[in-house]
Amino acid sequence: MLKPLIGLTAERWSSGYLPLPDQDVQGVLRTYVEALRGAGALPVIIPLGLTEEDRQALAARLDGLLLPGGGDVDPAAYGEAPHPKLSDDVDPLRDALEIGLARDAVASGLPLLAVCRGIQVLNVALGGTLIQDIPSQVPGAVRHSFFLRDAPREHLAHAVQVAEGSRLADVLGTPIVRVNSRHHQAVRDVASGLEVVAHAPDGVIEGVELPGHPFLLGVQWHPENLQALPEMKRLFVGFVEAAANGKREERGGRSE
């Protein structure tokens, strides 16, 4: 059988040594590719700057979509002014592509896994808002921003309580997980239709899902860095299996 085709969106950065404009490189972190391949998928990078027509045409060819981590979402996308702590790596071009793709996935039933920034993009795409800076806007918050200068990518920062009976709990196989954490923003007002299914000890939202959708999960941590843990491996395997099942259904149950 053909491996399911999973699209993941690129981010932009400067190559740093070529005489080219800033943000001249588009790509994805290796860990996402390895996690998808390890779960049986064939990953493909979705470039920024697509027209709406090309974005929709590409999404129609995918078996699944992964929205990866990255910089802050432009608060203009949810009708707010920038907070003083907003990072300087906001990229409206990426926001526009990912918001459009998230809406495509919801409308078409395309399996979607949203990671860190991805859960925030998903919430904004469906009409929600974000906490722009947890340390200054969430009294008593635990530390969520363990960036690479502070700890390795696999550092387990805090526990997450997952709602029993939720799809996320079913996929992970446990209602309590230890997670890594590299974010200073989070979901605030939850978009209509999304269901909150996981929280950090301070109440910060760590997981959402869309009831009735074949597979649509968003997590605030980085499971691609935790593939040595069975529950995080199961998250990617469950996502890829949902993409593969959708592929089979489109062919009327035939395998190739």
Residue 255 above 50 pLDDT?
no
Cα–Cα distance measured from residue 7 to residue 58, given in angstroms and rounded to the nearest whole number? 9
Grade residue 254 by pLDDT with cuts at 50, 70 and 90.
very low
Each residue's pLDDT tens digit, 141-156: 999 999 888 899 999 9
Each residue's pLDDT tens digit, 120-138: 999 999 999 999 999 999 9
User: Cα angle vertex 7, ends 127, 46, to 5°?
Assistant: 85
Each residue's pLDDT tens digit, 8-24: 999 998 766 555 556 67
Token pair listed for 28: 């994805």
The Cα-based distances of 214 to 89, 146, 160, 238 in angstroms read 33, 33, 24, 11
Length of the chain: 256
Grade residue 252 by pLDDT with cuts at 50, 70 and 90.
very low
Pick the CATH number of 5-250 from 3.40.50.880, 3.20.20.100, 1.10.3720.10, 3.30.110.40: 3.40.50.880
Residue 115 above 50 pLDDT?
yes
pLDDT computed for residue 246 by the predictor: 85
Residue 86 above 90 pLDDT?
yes
Give 221's contacts (C-beta < 8 A, 6+ positions apart).
115, 116, 160, 179, 180, 181, 206
Each residue's pLDDT tens digit, 20-59: 556 678 999 999 999 999 999 999 999 999 999 999 999 9
SS (H, E, C) 5-66: EEEEECEEECCCCCCCCCCCEEECCHHHHHHHHHCCCEEEEECCCCCHHHHHHHHHHCCEEE
Q: What integer is the mean pLDDT of 88-92?
A: 91
Averaged confidence pLDDT in the chain? 93
Residue 235 above 50 pLDDT?
yes
Break the chain into its structural domains and give their ranges: 5-250
Residues with a known catalytic role? 116, 222, 224
